[in-house]
């Protein structure tokens, strides 16, 4: 099994509250959000 296939959303760390809301409500077919620190986006 490829774990990358489970990642459905990549969210900036600053938006963690939005990511949790989307995940907990299963909005937008969210299965596994990954929080991206600022250093990962540069």
DSSP 1-31: --GGGG--EEEEGGGHHHHHHHHHTTGGG-S
Angle (CA) 34 15 10, round 5°: 25
The neighbouring-strand residues paired with 34 are 10
Show me where the domains of the chain are located.
3-40
| Residue 12 clears pLDDT 90, i.e. is over it | yes
pLDDT band of residue 40 (cuts 50, 70, 90) is: confident
Beta-carbon contacts of residue 23 (< 8 Å; ≥ 6 apart): 9, 30, 33
pLDDT confidence of residue 4: 87
Cα gap 4→29, rounded to integer Å: 16
Please provide the average confidence, as pLDDT, over all residues in the chain: 91
């Amino acid at each position: 099994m490829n774990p990358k296939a489970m990642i459905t959303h990549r969210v900036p760390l600053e938006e963690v509250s939005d990511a949790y809301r989307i995940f907990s409500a299963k909005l937008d077919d969210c299965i596994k959000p990954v929080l991206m620190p600022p250093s990962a986006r540069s």
